[in-house]
Amino acid sequence: MISNNLRILIVDDELYITSIVRKIVEKLGCEANSIDDGRTIGKALLAFDPEVIFLDLMMPDIDGVEAINILGEASCKANIILMSGLDQRTVTSVAEVARSHNLNVIAAITKPFQPGQIESLIEPLIASRITSVPATANQQTSLPGPQLQFTPELHADDTTQSGPDWHRIKLAWGMDDEEVVDFSDLLQQSSKERMARGQLNLCFKLLSDNETVNLSGGDQLRIKILVPNSLLIDKSCPNYLEEGIQLAGLEKSNLTFEIDESAITSKSDAILNTLSRLKIKGMRIAICIHTELDQILSNLSRLPVDEIVLDMAGEKFNRASLENQEIEFEISSMVSMANKANLSTVAINIQNPNHLALAKQSRFDRISGKQLDSRQ
């Protein structure tokens, strides 16, 4: 359970609905409170100061619009999720009323709820408690809501060289104040297969809608996207990812699925089965190493991958560690072995001049990170 102290208020006179929502959000680590009389919503707002409000639109003593008027008068800043069995046109109309009061309606869900609906709405808000980053030049910040962050991987020997290079994508959420919440950690930690699918579905949809993915002359950006272990263990994963590529309108050769080192170190037969099937389907796979250099090196000849990615953000690659000749030797050996196996190599999250120097010295093919923002 994630400890996040996200405060959630449930406003509904149907006790079984309140009970369901409360159990779900508390399982996610949230702090929940509930009221069954919408007339007391103002008092609850002052007493509990919720960050999220689940608001039923049909209550016996007060309707949703009246409750929204109360929230508007109180200058409520909470994220509001409308709940109703009404038709979509009515719910949309109520949402517009709420926005006219400067209220932040983030969703409207229909009773009865579908499996995973509550989690899919709350988990992104939890992510904002876990990791948030300021907006940068390669992030889309024009509108609040879901968006993709594109981070280019530059040629290690000449970071000024342009061309249709690979771009790592991350799912993010733009906030009203232009802060951008990074979902990558949440996706990596997704223990539920349906949660991972939901986030990847959104990535594929955003890619299909993004005009910059298709460059002039018919070329496409080369995209790299993370696939968590919770999805890799599912037998339907290869077919699902193939459908995602088709949805995004990408060629298989222009998309790489990245897996975490734990996918290999766990020695899961199910994951190895999935990776083998992905390769048979003609898909590219990269493995990202954070700490397990030795173990990956010893299994390199048996890995069904096309690329080795070294994440230099870990403690293993801090300034003190980089002065260790043994670490330098391990990295150089990895790159050398990868080259002999016709695998490309990438160093990511390069954060300081020492990282950059080591990456160039070790002869990585491509590099990325904030140290390269100015394309040194």
Q: What is the CATH number of the domain that holds 117?
A: 3.40.50.2300
- pLDDT surpassing 50 at residue 256: yes
Quote the pLDDT of residue 300: 78
Same structural domain, 60 and 97? yes
| CB count in 10 Å sphere of residue 237 | 24
CB-based contact 127:186 (threshold 8 Å): yes
- Coil, helix or strand at residue 79: strand
On the 0-12 / 13-18 / 19+ scale of CB atoms within 10 A, 334 is: buried
How many structural domains does the chain have? 2
- pLDDT surpassing 60 at residue 283: yes
Same structural domain, 180 and 113? no
Quote the pLDDT of residue 287: 93
Distance CA 203, CA 169 (A): 9
Quote the pLDDT of residue 376: 41
Same structural domain, 298 and 323? yes
Same structural domain, 113 and 148? no
Lowest mean pLDDT among 195-204, 256-265, 316-325: 316-325
Same structural domain, 230 and 361? yes
Same structural domain, 101 and 146? no
CA dihedral 317, 318, 319, 323 (to 10 degrees): -40
Same structural domain, 42 and 155? no
Contacts of 326 (CB under 8 A, 6+ apart): none
Q: Flag whether 315 is in a domain.
A: yes
When the pLDDT of each residue in the chain is averaged and rounded to a whole number, the result is: 80
pLDDT, one tens digit per residue, over 83-124 is 988 777 778 888 888 888 889 888 888 888 876 889 888 887
Q: Is 288 left (phi over 0), alpha (psi -120 to 50) or beta?
A: beta
Rounded percentage of the chain residues whose pLDDT exceeds 70:
79
Same structural domain, 68 and 153? no
Angle at Cα 193 formed by Cα 80 and Cα 176, nearest 5°?
30
Quote the pLDDT of residue 132: 40
Q: Is the C-alpha dihedral spanning 367, 370, 371, 374 positive or negative?
A: positive
What value does the CA radius of gyration of the chain take, rounded to a whole number of Å?
24
Task: Answer with the residue of higher pLDDT: 287 or 369.
Answer: 287
- pLDDT surpassing 70 at residue 161: no
Q: Flag whether 1 is in a domain.
A: no
Last residue of a domain, one of 67, 102, 122: 122
Last residue of a domain, one of 122, 141, 157: 122
Q: Domain holding 334: CATH number?
A: 3.20.20.450
Of the candidates 275, 228, 220, 276, the residue with the CA atom closest to the CA atom of residue 252? 220
Where does the pLDDT of residue 266 fall: very low under 50, low under 70, confident under 90, or very high at 90 and above? confident
Distance CA 222, CA 232 (A): 22
Quote the pLDDT of residue 189: 53
Q: Which two tokens stand for residue 67?
A: 């409750």
Task: Answer with the residue of higher pLDDT: 253 or 136.
Answer: 253
Q: Flag whether 228 is in a domain.
A: yes
Report which listed range, 19-33, 154-168, 177-191, 301-315, is most confident: 19-33
367 lies in which domain range?
A: 131-372
Residue 290 one-letter amino acid: H
pLDDT, one tens digit per residue, over 286-328 is 999 988 888 777 877 778 899 999 988 876 676 555 666 777 8
Q: Flag whether 347 is in a domain.
A: yes
Same structural domain, 110 and 152? no
Of the candidates 371, 56, 191, the residue with the CA atom closest to the CA atom of residue 199? 191
Q: Flag whether 162 is in a domain.
A: yes
Q: Flag whether 2 is in a domain.
A: no
Tallying the residues shown for the chain, one arrives at: 376
- Coil, helix or strand at residue 18: helix
- pLDDT surpassing 60 at residue 2: no
CB-based contact 179:132 (threshold 8 Å): yes
Quote the pLDDT of residue 133: 38
Maximum CA extent, the chain: 74
On the 0-12 / 13-18 / 19+ scale of CB atoms within 10 A, 229 is: buried
Quote the pLDDT of residue 319: 58
CB-based contact 83:111 (threshold 8 Å): yes
Last residue of a domain, one of 96, 122, 148: 122
Same structural domain, 176 and 246? yes
Where does the pLDDT of residue 354 fall: very low under 50, low under 70, confident under 90, or very high at 90 and above? confident
Q: Flag whether 257 is in a domain.
A: yes
Quote the pLDDT of residue 210: 74
CB-based contact 207:223 (threshold 8 Å): yes
Q: Flag whether 187 is in a domain.
A: yes
Distance CA 256, CA 180 (A): 24
Distance CA 85, CA 179 (A): 34
What is the distance, to the nearest Å, from the Cα of residue 327 to the centroid of all Cα atoms in its chain? 30
> Where do runs of H (alpha helix) occur along 101-168?
117-130
Same structural domain, 150 and 116? no
Distance CA 302, CA 89 (A): 56
For residue 344, give Cα distances in angstroms to 156, 282, 331: 12, 17, 14
Same structural domain, 70 and 206? no
Q: Count of alpha carbons within 13 Å of 249, Cβ hemisphere only?
A: 15
The DSSP secondary-structure symbol of 113 reads P
